[in-house]
Structure 1
Amino acid sequence: MSFSAVPRTAAVAALVASALAAGLLTGSATAATSSPSTSADPVTGVRIHDIQGTTRVSPLVGQQVGEVPGIVTGVRGYGSSRGFWFQEPRADDNAATSEGIFVFTGAGSVPSVAVGDEVRVSGTVGEFVPGGNASGNQSLTQILRPSVTVVSSGNRLPAPIVISAWSVPSAYAPTGDPAAGGSINALPLKPRSSALDYYESLEGSNVSIGTSRIVGATAFSELWVTVKPFESRSARGGALYGSYASQNSGRLKIQSLVPLAEQPFPAADVGDVLTGRTEGPLDFNQYGGYTITARTLGKVTDRGLVRERTRPQRTGELAVATYNVENLDPSDPQETFDALGRAVVENLSSPDILALEEIQDNSGARNDGTVAADQTIEKFVRAISAAGGPSYRWRSVDPENNKDGGEPGGNIRQVFLFNPERVSFTDRQGGDATTPTAVVRERGRAALTLSPGRIDPANSAWERSRKPLAGEFTFRGRPVVVIANHFGSKGGDEAINSHRQPPNRSSEVQRVQQAQSVNAFVKDILKVDRRADVLVVGDINDFEFSATTKALTDGGALHAAVTSLPRAERYSYVFQGNSQVLDQILTSPSIDDFTYDSVHINAEFADQNSDHDPQVLRFRP
């Protein structure tokens, strides 16, 4: 058998099937270590590049290998995936085959090797899928149940492969094989054609990057950089995610192999720079995919990113804002409420109407049947007043217990805050969790039967999801309808680095149905009064170019106001180094003259009070 030859697609698919049957292509490291081998006698005389092969799945998966030589390039002695990387110092001439590999020593055992050791490793070849097979993630080739012999110590490490703007292809992923359900697992790697193939060809290898822009702030002791200085650059130094075909191939996650007790991970904001050299093995993990596990970590240079402040509304302008405050409940520290309150006053300039998402009930995540959230809201209102803001009043509708998704027991919901000195709320009694509000004609204008009221709560589109909250307001004698939303999350979607390309966005189905429900309600309003001022606001959980937004704007009923911004400023959230739109304000046709601001105060910062940036729209009704 020639291990350096490119296996045929069908052959690799058969390997995947047999590995699954044997339990060696698995998302459980524990299960992987106890899986039976498919070969009784070890294969000898092989090198690491023979194990890695020229596709994402090893041609030796499920087989025992013996006395594989290499130099240890990194040791992970903490966490649930303990082990070490080692690398063949004499590379073959095939760019598709990686020269490094991870050796899984067990969740509870500290590897008994050191960086620079020359070793011989025997064990079983497996493919570990971080997050489990159902996640859609690519797999990590590794050696399981190892027997390790240290031949010598203090050896020079293989020179790192430098990942740079010139080495990473601009295309992000190959197109999956339709015959394999869109999977790229069995396709031959083409490192010069796509970033995912390039990174996979370096899986487990010692790599390095030079000075790089930080595009994802420090969180959970990791950060994101891009090795491409000019790729999709946002106005503040991030990497814009502008379409499903603009994944930003230069992004990489950075972790440290040094335990936090020995060296705290640096705090960094988007736009800062990781200067100098960062070097270590290239890993693949559940949260973000390809990751440099750094032995040597560059230094963070602070570029002084500041939180934005939107301008105050003028006398005749109505300012409407939306803000996801991330599972806020009374047990959160007073400092959190104070910071959120200051942001409303100082950064949002005390908008006239503020729609909040992720307000939890009075007992927070304690699953005790509580659904009222008056204590949460009042604590927030007091914090705003203490920061010098207005004495906001509020309206909301309590959900049914554990029927609206989110953190179990938290009963998150949308809430309207409004400044009674500038705007009034039109109360129409009877709104509850299950009774839908409707549209009627009143003195020639559209009116809601319930205000506040929920839109179409019995529709299956809202199952285990937050129902839209509609309310009537009056500003300077003009009625305005605001609909606050928190659409279904992207949980369950495959990552953009999935083994299936394009990845499955299963959660989009529900959001499209939700968008259709809201769009139909807005059309009902416009049938009664085509000049009605309607704002659809909130955490839409989807992009401005998505099918969800297209469904919301269907028939010209609404316009996505975020598209009025320059492209470099269109984002409200940063996920895995991609700056993207999730939070939106959409306007009815009568609102054709407005100013819009995505106020960047959280998503780009390591120190944040929410993971979302609030949005503000000002117009003259």
Structure 2
Amino acid sequence: MKAASLLSWLTTTLAAGVSALTIGEINGNRFLSPYNGQDASNVTGIVTAKGPDGLWVRSVRKGCDRHVSDAIYIYGSALAKNASINSGDVIVVSGKVSEYRSNKDYLYLTQITSPKVAAILEHGKQVAPKVIGKDTYSPPTEQYTSLDEGDVFAFPNNKSLVSAANPVLAPEEYGLDFWESLSGQLVTVKSPRAIGKPNKYGDTWVVGDWKTSGENGRGGLTTTPTDSNPEGIVIGSPLDGSKNPSDTKLGDTLEDITGVVYQAFGFYRILPLTKVVVVASQEPVLPSSTSLTSDGVCSGLTVGSYNIENFSPVDTAHVEAVAQHIVNYLKTPDLVFLQEVQDDNGAVDDGTVSSDLTLSTLAAAIEKASGGFAYNFTYVAPVNKNDGGAPGGNIRTAYLFRRDVLALRDPNPAGSTVANEVLPGGALKYNPGLIDPTNEAFTNSRKPLTAVWQTLDGNNTFYTVNVHWGSKGGSSSIHGDARPPVNGGVEDRIAQAEVTADFIAAILTEDPEAHIITSGDFNEYPFVKPITDFESRSQMEDLDAVAGIDVLERYSYLYDMNTQELDHMFESPANPPRCLEVSPALAKTKPQFEHIHVNTWVAYDDMVSDHDPSVAKMNLCSGRCHS
């Protein structure tokens, strides 16, 4: 139909009293449509894309208000299967304006349902996609929504709901507002870069050639205080039925991506017209081994920490891979904090709780891979089915220690329900022992494992606390309705932080010069309440800060669009910098610390664990503040 005919038809329908809304009017300038639940007649738009369950249309006359989308999703599988309707067609449709979400925790998608096509007015109409950052605002780089009040990680969570407040969109300031203002639009991402790994559906987080914040050396975006990188967008399933690659890696460069902006499964996303194509990957594929190697004496010992993800002797390939990491990348540290060590038959749920076979199998694999470095191990078995993790696996924390360098001081292991105690002078009643294992803070979670060590090159003593705090299960999407987003299990971790910190503080009260190392999987970012509470209450010092690690390189985990740090190492304040004030000559004793990105950098199938390990080198001599 020619333009004159289109004008004549519209004039006739309007004269007959038929109500017509523009797509921009339907969307409005908020998250929820002002016409939600109402019928809309004679909505006219150009089909920009078709999917298996509907199609996307954009107004014939392109809107000029960047705060309001002039495109919308029309839901209807029959319409999607109608071969007579194709991209480039100008259609007139009627239906009901609807707000849809598949889960109460998600944001709503504005759409038109129960559609009926009144006319196809034109074919072959070209629609140029909006180039993000050029034809739109540049995506905001720090804040998600005004409802977060400046801190997406603030506690308490869920103080408000987007669906209840329905704020006016400010796409130049807030990430959720930005993507909502483009809902339904055909867009292009220029020069995209992968900032995450694909999930099992091939969904991959990317940024384009727009401004970003938090960029680390590998091309990922690191979570920092008040910034969880709203400029990232997930690329979902291709509309042509092709499959996105499953082996995309952090920092990969991709071909330009064109698709439609959509909301599903808790996130804004772009559904591409066709599959993601990888152009190049970062080099080297794997990081270098740690530069920190043991001197073999107390003034220069190495300490590693590694969540080895549901480790059991049943999976021989996993055993070998973890051993290779400890030998080749961690360089056989003198002491290794381990998390997620399963019982002797793995996830078989038969009441087994011992990990002797699990840990001896790992020690043997390390000895073989290293050509002779022999490790002993220690742990306290949990009560069956009491510490969470994979059913039947009975995960726990444990220590490996070089038998030629370290030994437990006066071994006296506690039972799984017995709380360790700090005795006068700072000694521990049990070695090893658990911190308050019956405390409700640790219900269905790992209990911190304490130990006291002595070096074999002299009468040097230090303490360790190995933690694996409660998981983030139950968290809501960072793109979700609740603001700030729900940080699953945070109340438990706050309580666990208090109990752990109080035990450490008790040691330091009895022995102010005690050298204490606390490490493990804290399941929390360094600037969020459980960790900040732990630091202030225990007075422990974060080795990332002590060693001067660049803030953007402090990561051990990759989740959605963010490289993030869940694994930490802390030491008691008796070490430098306080000691440097006593003896500047001891500057060489300042701890060194490194994260080894053997898992965050590689493709999903090449990961040995979902966490990166870390290594520290420090002075573990008694009286280390004296020259």
TM-score (norm 1): 0.83
Q: 2:233 aligns with which of 228, 249, 252?
A: 252
Q: Secondary structure at the match of 1:387?
A: helix
* Partner SS for 2:195: strand
Distance 1:197 1:57 in 2: 12
Deviates further, 142-151 or 397-406: 142-151
Task: Give the alignment of 1:94-493 within 5 angstroms.
Answer: 94-105=65-76, 111-112=81-82, 116=87, 118=89, 119-130=91-102, 132-133=103-104, 135=105, 137-147=106-116, 151=120, 155-164=124-133, 167-176=138-147, 181-185=159-163, 186-220=166-200, 221-227=202-208, 228=210, 231-243=213-225, 245-257=226-238, 262-265=242-245, 267-274=247-254, 276-286=255-265, 289-296=267-274, 297-305=276-284, 306-311=286-291, 312-316=293-297, 317-332=300-315, 334-388=316-370, 390-426=373-409, 428-441=411-424, 446-475=426-455, 476=457, 477-493=459-475
Write the distance in 1 (CA, Å) between the matches of 2:73 and 2:499: 49
Contact 2:312 2:319 in 1 (8 A): no
Tell whether 2:557 aligns with 1:573.
yes
1:499 matched residue in structure 2? 481
- 2:370 partner SS: coil
**Pairing partner for 2:524 from 509, 517, 542:** 542
Write out per-residue CA displacement over residues 300-349 of structure 1, whole angstroms, 9 at most, x where no aligned residue. Answer: 311214323112222322211111112223443x3322222111111111
Structure 1 position 462, deviation (Å): 1.0
Q: CA deviation at 1:414?
A: 0.9
In the alignment, residue 443 of structure 2 is paired with which amino acid? E
Give the direction of change, closer, same or farther, for the CA distance of 1:53–1:229 in structure 2 (3 Å limit). Answer: closer
Equivalent AA in structure 2 for residue 507 of structure 1: G
Alpha-carbon displacement from aligned partner over 1:377-425 (angstroms, at most 9, x marks no partner)? 3333333233226232221122122222223333221111112122112
Cα distance 1:271–1:550, how it changes in 2: closer, same or farther (>3 A)? same
Change in CA separation of 1:181 and 1:473 when aligned onto 2, cut-off 3 Å? closer
Q: Secondary structure at the match of 1:290?
A: strand
Which runs of 5 or more residues in structure 2 are unaligned? 1-17, 150-157, 577-589, 621-627
Taking every aligned residue pair, what percent have the same amino acid on both sides? 30
Match of 1:619 in 2: 618
Residue-by-residue CA offset, 1:251-280 (whole Å, 9 max, x unaligned): 1112341577x4451633222222x42110
| Structure 1: stretches of 5+ with no match in the other structure | 1-42
Structure 1 contact 71–155 (Cα < 8 Å) conserved: no
Aligned counterpart for 2:34 among listed residues 48, 59, 63: 59
Query: Secondary structure, in 3 states, of the residue corresponding to 1:448?
Result: coil
Counterpart in 1 of 2:24? 49
Letter matched to residue 62 of structure 1: G
Aligned letter for 2:96?
A: T
Q: Secondary structure at the match of 2:361?
A: helix
CA–CA distance in structure 2, aligned partners of residues 371 and 110 of structure 1: 55
Answering whether residue 580 of structure 2 is matched by residue 595 of structure 1, we say no
Tell me how far apart the structure 2 counterparts of residues 150 and 433 of structure 1 sit (CA, whole Å). Answer: 73
Change in Cα spacing, 1:463 to 1:140, as seen in structure 2 (3 Å) is: same
Cα distance in 1 for residues equivalent to 2:176 and 2:490: 24
Q: For 2:518 and 2:229, locate their aligned partners in 1 and report how far apart those are by CA, in whole Å.
A: 30
**1: distance between equivalents of 2:393 and 2:117?**
49
Task: Flag the 1:105–1:505 CA change in 2: closer, same or farther, 3 A.
Answer: same
SS at match of 1:176: helix
AA of the residue aligned to 1:304: E
Q: Distance in 2 between matches of 1:89 and 1:337?
A: 61
Tell me if structure 2 keeps the 8 A contact 1:532–1:590: yes
User: In the aligned structure 1, how far is the partner of 2:568 from the partner of 2:263?
Assistant: 33
Higher relative contact order, chain-length normalized (CA < 8 Å, sep 6+): 2
Root-mean-square deviation over aligned CA pairs: 2.9
- My pick for the range that moved more, 533-542 or 560-569, is 560-569
Mapped to 2, the partners of 1:157 and 1:409 lie a distance apart of 58
CA distance in 2 between counterparts of 1:153 and 1:415 reads 69
Query: Does structure 2 retain, via aligned residues, the 8 Å contact 1:282–1:291?
Result: yes
Aligned mates of 1:193, 1:405 — CA distance in 2: 41
Distance across 2 between alignment mates of 1:551 and 1:233: 27
Q: How far apart, in 2, do the equivalents of 1:517 and 1:543 lie?
A: 18
Deviation at 1:66, TM superposition (A): 4.3
Q: TM-score, normalised by structure 2?
A: 0.82
Q: 1:570 and 1:65 mapped to 2: Cα distance?
A: 51
Structure number with larger C-alpha Rg: 2
Deviation at 1:282, TM superposition (A): 1.0
User: What letter matches 1:303 in structure 2?
Assistant: Q
Paired residues of 2:239 and 2:271 also in contact (CA < 8 A): no
CA-CA distance at 1:468 after TM superposition: 0.6
Q: CA deviation at 1:466?
A: 1.1
Question: 2:5 — aligned with what?
Answer: none
User: Deviations 1:226-266 (Å, cap 9, x if unpaired)?
Assistant: 234552221322212110x2122321112341577x44516
Deviation (angstroms), 1:357: 1.1
The count of aligned residue pairs is: 563
Cα distance 1:405–1:478, how it changes in 2: closer, same or farther (>3 A)? same
Cα distance in 2 for residues equivalent to 1:330 and 1:87: 57
User: Residues 557 and 612 of structure 2 are in contact (CA less than 8 Å); yes or no, is this contact kept in structure 1?
Assistant: yes
Contact 2:471 2:488 in 1 (8 A): no
Aligned twin of 1:605:
602
Does the 8 Å CA contact 2:379/2:398 hold for their aligned counterparts?
yes
Q: Which amino acid aligns with 1:60?
A: Y
